[in-house]
């Protein structure tokens, strides 16, 4: 005899289309990649399938293992992954979420890739790290045209070919980035790794790196001190003659989240590398890579927010408490709507930046200038919002959200990472300030973007006036405030021009109105002003479960 009936639990959230996301789809079309909608929807259905979710779970519950030596005592420096990791990587590479858009001349190719990255990341965030670094290495590598000619076709090839072999013998390559050392990550000029010219045009690198993720990649962009100063190098994991390059994996990090992915401490002992760009211009060279991974930090954050609010809205649509569905309880509706507003605003900014990237790559200097400032500010603010967003989404599931198998703990542990990577919060905010002060064309392009929304909403107009006033006396100590205000103004401008009217109105009422009165937005999610059309907003975040 059963002891009890299970009821008032939601159906599993599987078999849905992650790409069924109105804010993302309209941004995809607006930014010039409407042609990719069919492929994005296909990938969205795959990401929402029970199979992909299971692969994400398995890859995280069976984290990678380091094997430094073989049974005979020879160094092998290999990392072993669960088969689910390889499945996830295969899908990502087959769908061109890595370097493929660099070899695709269609306008919007980078936006199409951004949409794929956004939806597929819902299956697992960890494997997106090597995918992102492989995407990002190309603009930096192009500063060494000979190396780009050799490796770019393989970096862009839609083939996931795992294993340590000479790069040119593989069907497809993956890349990584090796900058951070024990004594400093943000301040890379403090790097101590030495590069010595070997006489044949190559260099030998000796030193250590404190964080190098995805160490089973084939090529790494490494910073090291050459005679001419800090320089950027391309380091192959296996030398062209087939011998293992001396990139020794010391340990894998035991990380808070991002557990499917491996992040290693490495030592280089006269490791072969090739110079990229000029000696002494390492930071300037590698920044081309960092800027692209920053875009993925924003996209990945948008993915996490969308996943969180989708899971929360799904739960609340099916769970009853005190005689009503949770979604129909006015206070829960306010929490869910607030989470959905944050998620849509982040998605819209992320896609505007993906569009700017696409146009900048094709030579649009104004878009490049816009992106310079808007990306730094948005990277700061979107990533800063992620942990609070994940915590609140988790709480919508009550105790179930605190339990591993709900998927919420994984989302929550992942949430702070994008803010640390590629310029931690303060560094990103200071970078926005630097762009503002030193690159007037960036500030001009940024404000021209805001001006296009002028007159549409008085709360936005007032926020832009306050922002301009603050800019007249900028200071380092206020850089976070400034970056936040810039990011909010951009999100507001995009929403009033292109967003859903209920979302745009609630965003302006909560994030931009500076009245501070009793109807004002509070500091936690779920404090939207009375009169907000929460039901309409929550509907946009509630997934349709197919079967
Ligand atoms: C999971 C994971 C994977 C990673 N993978 C890689 C990788 O593949 N390759 C790689 O090179 N690195 C990698 N990193 C390292 C990461 O990029 C660095 O941790 C990050 O850049 C910060 O550097 P740091 O840890 O040395 O901290 P620090 O530079 O010491 O910074 C500490 C704090 O001080 C703040 N700060 C720094 N400068 C200033 C300033 N001027 N004013 C005010 N505040 C300041 C920072 O914002 C931060 O909050 C990874 C990190 C993690 C967590």
Ligand 1 centre from 186 Cα, in Å? Answer: 5
∠ CA 130-134-137, nearest 5°, is 130
> How far apart, in whole angstroms, are the C-alpha atoms of residue 136 and residue 98?
8
**Residue 508's pLDDT is what?**
97
Structure tokens at 316: 């609340």
Ligand 1 centre from 267 Cα, in Å? Answer: 19
Q: With 0-12 CB in 10 A as exposed, 13-18 as middle and 19+ as buried, what is 221?
A: buried
Please list the ranges in the chain whose pLDDT falls under 70: 515-519, 546-547
Quick check: helix, strand or coil at residue 433?
Answer: helix
Structure tokens at 278: 């000029």
Ligand 1 centre from 382 Cα, in Å? Answer: 17
Ligand 1 centre from 75 Cα, in Å? Answer: 29
Check: CB of residue 543 under 8 Å from CB of residue 13.
yes
Which residue's CA is the closest to the ligand 1 atom numbered 27? 185
Q: Which atom of ligand 1 lies closest to the CA of 476?
A: 42
| Greatest CA separation for the chain | 81
> How far apart, in whole angstroms, are the C-alpha atoms of residue 296 and residue 276?
23
First to last CA, the chain: 29
Ligand 1 centre from 520 Cα, in Å? Answer: 35
Which residue's CA is the closest to the ligand 1 atom numbered 7? 212
Q: Which atom of ligand 1 lies closest to the CA of 428?
A: 47
**Which among 204, 197, 198 is positioned nearest to 279, based on CA atoms?**
197
| Partner residues linked to 233 by β-bridges | 222, 275
**What lines the ligand 1 site, CB under 6 Å?**
176-180, 184-187, 211-213, 255, 258, 263, 417, 420-421, 424-427
Which secondary-structure segment (H or E) carries 534? helix 534-539
Ligand 1 centre from 7 Cα, in Å? Answer: 47
Which residue's CA is the closest to the ligand 1 atom numbered 30? 184
**Residue 473's pLDDT is what?**
83
Check: CB of residue 72 under 8 Å from CB of residue 110.
no
Which residue's CA is the closest to the ligand 1 atom numbered 49? 424
At which residue do the structure tokens 């948008």 appear?
302
> How far apart, in whole angstroms, are the C-alpha atoms of residue 374 and residue 436?
10
Q: Which atom of ligand 1 lies closest to the CA of 426?
A: 47
E-only strand ranges, 31-182? 65-69, 75-80, 175-178
Q: Best substitution site from 183, 211, 221, 259 to test ligand 1's pocket, by max atoms within 8 Å of Cβ? A: 211
Q: Which atom of ligand 1 lies closest to the CA of 255?
A: 1
**Residue 518's pLDDT is what?**
58
Phi-psi bin for 338: left (phi > 0), alpha (psi -120 to 50), beta? alpha
| Partner residues linked to 228 by β-bridges | none
Which residue's CA is the closest to the ligand 1 atom numbered 26? 185
> How far apart, in whole angstroms, are the C-alpha atoms of residue 290 and residue 297?
10
> How far apart, in whole angstroms, are the C-alpha atoms of residue 176 and residue 159?
17
**Residue 516's pLDDT is what?**
59
- CB-hemisphere CA count at 13 Å for 127? 31
Ligand 1 centre from 427 Cα, in Å? Answer: 9
pLDDT in tens, 28-48: 999 999 999 999 999 999 999
Q: Which atom of ligand 1 lies closest to the CA of 423?
A: 21
Q: What is the pTM of this model?
A: 0.98
Structure tokens at 379: 């990277």
Quick check: helix, strand or coil at residue 7?
Answer: coil
Q: What is the dihedral of CA 416, 234, 369, 440, to 10 degrees?
A: 90
Structure tokens at 404: 């591993």
Phi, psi torsion values for 365, nearest 5 degrees: -70, -30
pLDDT in tens, 352-395: 999 999 999 999 999 999 999 999 999 999 999 999 999 999 99
Q: Which atom of ligand 1 lies closest to the CA of 258?
A: 1
> How far apart, in whole angstroms, are the C-alpha atoms of residue 33 and residue 344?
19
**Which among 304, 255, 301 is positioned nearest to 422, based on CA atoms?**
301
């Amino acid at each position: 005899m059963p002891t009890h009936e299970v009821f008032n639990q939601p159906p599993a959230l599987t078999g849905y289309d992650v790409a069924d996301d109105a804010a993302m789809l309209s941004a995809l079309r607006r930014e010039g990649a409407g042609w990719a909608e069919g492929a994005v929807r296909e990938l969205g259905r795959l990401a929402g399938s029970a199979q992909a979710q299971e692969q994400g779970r398995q890859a995280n519950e069976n984290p990678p293992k380091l094997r430094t030596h073989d049974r005979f005592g020879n160094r092998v420096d290999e990392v072993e992954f669960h088969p689910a990791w390889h499945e996830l990587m295969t899908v990502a590479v087959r769908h061109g979420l890595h370097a493929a858009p660099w070899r695709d001349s269609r306008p919007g190719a980078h936006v199409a890739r951004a949409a794929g990255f956004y939806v597929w990341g819902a299956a697992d965030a960890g494997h997106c790290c090597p995918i992102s670094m492989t995407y990002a290495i190309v603009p930096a590598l192009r500063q060494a045209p000979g190396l780009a000619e050799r490796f770019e076709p393989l970096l862009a090839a839609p083939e996931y070919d795992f294993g340590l072999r000479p790069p040119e013998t593989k069907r497809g390559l993956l890349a990584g980035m090796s900058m951070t050392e024990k004594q400093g990550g943000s301040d890379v000029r403090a790097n101590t790794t030495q590069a010595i010219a070997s006489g044949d045009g190559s260099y030998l690198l000796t030193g250590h790196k404190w964080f190098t993720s995805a160490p089973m990649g084939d090529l790494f962009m490494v910073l090291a001190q050459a005679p001419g100063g800090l320089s950027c190098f391309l380091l192959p994991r296996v030398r062209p003659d087939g011998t293992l390059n001396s990139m020794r994996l010391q340990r894998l990090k035991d990380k808070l989240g991002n557990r499917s992915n491996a992040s290693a401490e490495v030592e280089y002992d006269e490791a072969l590398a090739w110079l990229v760009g000029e000696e002494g211009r390492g930071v300037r060279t590698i920044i081309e890579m960092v800027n692209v991974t920053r875009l993925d930090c924003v996209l990945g954050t948008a993915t996490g927010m969308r996943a969180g609010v989708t899971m929360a809205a799904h739960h609340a649509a099916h769970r009853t408490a005190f005689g009503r569905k949770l979604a129909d309880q006015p206070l829960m509706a306010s929490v869910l709507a607030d989470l959905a507003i944050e998620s849509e605003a982040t998605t819209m900014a992320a896609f505007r930046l993906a569009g700017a990237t696409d146009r900048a790559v094709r030579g649009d200097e104004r878009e490049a200038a816009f992106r310079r400032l808007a990306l730094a500010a948005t990277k700061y603010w979107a990533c800063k919002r992620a942990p609070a967003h994940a915590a609140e989404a988790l709480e919508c599931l009550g105790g179930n959200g605190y339990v591993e198998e709900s998927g919420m703990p994984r989302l929550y542990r992942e949430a702070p990472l994008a803010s640390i990577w590629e310029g931690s919060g303060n560094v990103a905010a200071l970078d926005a300030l630097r762009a503002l002060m030193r690159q007037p064309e960036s500030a001009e392009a940024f404000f021209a973007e805001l001006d296009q929304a002028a007159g549409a909403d008085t709360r936005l107009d007032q926020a832009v006036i306050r922002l301009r006033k603050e800019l007249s006396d900028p200071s380092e100590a206020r850089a976070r405030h400034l970056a936040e205000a810039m990011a909010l103004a951009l999100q507001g401008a995009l929403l009033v021009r292109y967003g859903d009217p209920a979302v745009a109105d609630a965003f302006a009422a909560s994030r931009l109105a500076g009245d501070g009165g009793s109807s004002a937005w509070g500091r936690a999610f779920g404090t939207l002003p009375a009169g907000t059309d929460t039901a309409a907003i929550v509907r946009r975040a509630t997934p349709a479960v197919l079967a």
